[in-house]
Amino acid sequence: MAAAVVGVVMGSESDLSVMRPAVDALAEFDLRCEVRVLSAHRTPDAALGWAREAADRGLRVLVAGAGAAAHLPGVLAAVTSLPVIGVPIAATALAGVDSLLAIAQMPSGVPVATVAVDGGRNAGLLAVRILGAGDEALRGRSDEFRAAQAAQVAAADERIRGQFDRDPADRENLGFR
C-alpha cells in the first residue's frame, strides 16, 4: 500500500462533513492521506508536532480545516515548509466569513492557500494539482478530470440550448402560455 502524501486535519470532529470531500477527492486520484483531528487551541503541542514531522512521514501537502478563529492552518504553516491549504468552515453565526478572513490574512512569510468557505473538495483538488506539478502521470489524470468537467458543461449547454433555440413566434414551445 502506498504511503500517505497528503495530511488532512481538522480542528474538531464536527468539521468532518466539510473535510470528507477533500479525502474523497484525493481518493479519486488514488492518493492516500492521513486524517487527524488536532486543535490549535486545545491540543497545540500535538498539532505543532504533527506539522513539524509531516515531511519526515512522507507528506507533501497539508489540508487544514478550521472554523471560528480558524488558527489551525496558519499555526501549521508556521512550523512546516510544506504547502498548507486552509479550508474555512462555517461554524459560527458569521457563516464562515470569520474563518475565511483568519485563514486568508496570514502575515508575510507564512503563506496559506485558501479555498472557499466549506470548500473541502476544492482543497483536495488543489492538493492534486500541487502534487501533479512534479508528477506527469498525476497531472495527466488531473487534465482528464478537467476535460470530463468541460464535457459535462458542453452536454448541459446542448440540452439547454435545445430548449430555447426555437422560433420566438412559437411561444408555446418556449414555455409561454
How far is residue 85 from each of residues 57, 147, 157, measured CA to CA in Å? 18, 24, 33
pLDDT of residue 2: 82
Over residues 148-174, mean pLDDT: 84
Instruction: Check: CB of residue 31 under 8 Å from CB of residue 5.
Output: yes
pLDDT in tens, 28-46: 999 999 999 999 999 999 9
The grid cell for 151 is 464535457
Q: What does the domain layout of the chain look like in residue ranges?
A: 6-134, 139-174
pLDDT at 163: 85
What type of residue is 83? P
Q: What is the pLDDT of residue 172?
A: 64
Per-residue pLDDT tens digits for 71-130: 999 999 999 999 999 999 999 889 999 999 999 999 999 999 999 999 999 999 999 999
Burial readout 127-151 (b: 16 or more C-beta within 10 A, e: otherwise): bbebbbeeeeebeebbeebeeeeee
Cell numbers that stand for 174 in this block: 418556449
How much is the pTM?
A: 0.91
Four-way CATH pick for 6-134: 3.30.465.10, 3.40.50.1970, 3.40.50.300, 3.40.640.10 = 3.40.50.1970
Q: Is 99 helix (H, G, I), strand (E, B) or coil?
A: helix
Percent of the chain residues topping a pLDDT of 70:
93
174 pLDDT band (50/70/90 cuts)? low
pLDDT at residue 170 above 70? Answer: no
Main-chain dihedrals φ then ψ at residue 75, nearest 5 degrees? -65, -40
